[in-house]
Amino acid sequence: MKNLVVGAGFSGATIANLLATELNEEVEVIDSKDHIAGNCYDYKDENGITIHKYGSHIFHTNNEKVWDFISKFTDFNTYMHKVYANIDGIETTIPFNINTLYDVFPKSLASRLEEKLLAKYEYNKKVPILEFTKETDKDLKFLADYVYEKVFLHYTTKQWGVSPNDVSGAVTARVPVYISKDNRYFQDKYQGIPLEGYTKVVERMLDHKNIELVLNKPFKDYKKAYQKYKRVFYTGAIDQYFNYELGKLPYRSVNFKFETHKQEYYQQNSVVNYPCNYDFTRIHEYKYYLNEKSDKTVIAKEYSEAFETDKNERYYPIPNDKNTELYNKYLEKAKDLDNVYFLGRLGDYKYYDMDKAIARAIELFEEIK
């Protein structure tokens, strides 16, 4: 009696590895893609540059258990991610912080705003943008309106295809005003890029005598016979599992336009956001992550778009009350299945960073073991 794991991304690879190593059980891992690692898949191109096919992935976590687990399969560099944004033609760091004030405003105004921010908020506090817009002080209200307009409003509308008012607080909280001079995008204890890439990490996780991997294999080929498996771990979309019986859960997708340029660097940072200009949301430049040397560079312009079945990939669940209600109905149906477990960004309909996906898989394993 084998376990069946549907999906060879981090969620599926983690649960498969734990079943194989800790319980000494056989595991069959299937994936409809022609590669492992899901949307974290990367590869070396002809220029010797490691390309993240589905957008930039930076590993970061405060979870010791997750860090200890993934460190068994790779060494990391000490890359700490920073994001620049083009605001009024000025490239500056985001989240919007005290340093950003001095980049975009005259020194006298920036100094006054800094003084008021420090009088009102604790240093190193992250203030969600929608909370910040409730400011009543004239100067802070000006700053809140500026950040909302120049950093948040248009970028969010491009990324999610709706007004910011129609996006949940979990999303808007990811775009804070940061009362700090820390220019890093993440403040986690552990940060970095796997030295040999993410695909190699997943390859090592699945390299076990108890694990059989089958690619280019959709779950529908297995569904009729899934009862023969001891357990099924499904990391695909939960609504797809149930043939959209209750309706489709909405997602946002992303389209990447790759360009190769014969120059050492295209931009001065790995990621530059364009909140108010152009149709794309940001430009990724991949050489920065592993400090790779080449006389060429590869960039990807990222365009957000609606997810359409069989046309593009599901990237981001769209968290709001209506969608959560539909997801909970599917969750109720899932309770009728004796041996099927849902996990991952699509199975849980949650926006997971990589460490959260691994943590969820570890927790699920510990529940069932």
Contacts of 35 (CB under 8 A, 6+ apart): 41, 199, 215
Task: Report if residue 230 sits inside a domain.
Answer: yes
Tell me what pLDDT residue 223 has: 75
Task: Report if residue 57 sits inside a domain.
Answer: yes
Tell me what pLDDT residue 170 has: 66
Q: Locate tokens 């089958």: which residue?
A: 214
Is the domain of 165 the same as that of 135? yes
Q: Locate tokens 């996990």: which residue?
A: 343
Residue from 87, 91, 103 nearest 146 by CA: 87
Task: Report if residue 260 sits inside a domain.
Answer: no
Asked if 233 contacts 15 with a C-beta cutoff of 8 angstroms, the reply is yes
| Cα 169 from Cα 320, distance rounded (Å) | 9
Is the domain of 72 the same as that of 87? no
Q: Is 354 exposed, middle or buried (CB count within 10 Å of its CB: 0-12, 13-18, 19+)?
A: buried
- Compute CA distances 137 → 119, 141, 148, 294, 298, whole Å: 12, 6, 16, 51, 45
Structural domain span for residue 102: 83-179
Name the helix (H) or strand (E) containing 306. Answer: strand 297-306
Is the domain of 117 the same as that of 151? yes
Task: Report if residue 278 sits inside a domain.
Answer: no
Task: Report if residue 56 sits inside a domain.
Answer: yes
Q: Residue 350 sits in a domain of what CATH number?
A: 3.40.50.720
Domain count, the chain: 2
Task: Report if residue 284 sits inside a domain.
Answer: no
- Interhelix angle 107-120/138-147, rounded to 10 degrees, is 100
* Number of H-type helices and E-type strands within the chain: 15, 19
Asked if 213 contacts 206 with a C-beta cutoff of 8 angstroms, the reply is yes
Q: Find the length of the chain.
A: 369
Joined together, the tokens standing for residue 157 give 């509308």
Asked if 113 contacts 94 with a C-beta cutoff of 8 angstroms, the reply is no
- Examine the fold and report which residue of 179, 204, 236 is the final residue of a domain before the chain moves on: 179
Is the domain of 10 the same as that of 62? yes
Task: Report if residue 65 sits inside a domain.
Answer: yes
Tell me what pLDDT residue 1 has: 66
Is the domain of 214 the same as that of 234? yes
| Cα 267 from Cα 73, distance rounded (Å) | 32
Is the domain of 204 the same as that of 240? yes
Is the domain of 127 the same as that of 9? no
Is the domain of 174 the same as that of 321? no
Tell me what pLDDT residue 225 has: 73
Contacts of 295 (CB under 8 A, 6+ apart): 262, 263, 264
Task: Report if residue 262 sits inside a domain.
Answer: no
Report the alpha-carbon angle 91-88-107, nearest 5: 75
- Examine the fold and report which residue of 150, 179, 208 is the final residue of a domain before the chain moves on: 179
pTM for this entry: 0.95
Is the domain of 66 the same as that of 90? no
Dihedral pair phi/psi, residue 198, rounded to 5°: -75, -35
- Examine the fold and report which residue of 127, 148, 179 is the final residue of a domain before the chain moves on: 179
Is the domain of 23 the same as that of 65? yes
Stretches in the chain below the pLDDT threshold 50: none
Report the alpha-carbon angle 342-344-350, nearest 5: 105
Is the domain of 90 the same as that of 72? no
Is the domain of 232 the same as that of 154? no
DSSP structure string for 65-115: HHHHHHTTS--B------EEEEETTEEEEESEEHHHHHHHS-HHHHHHHHH
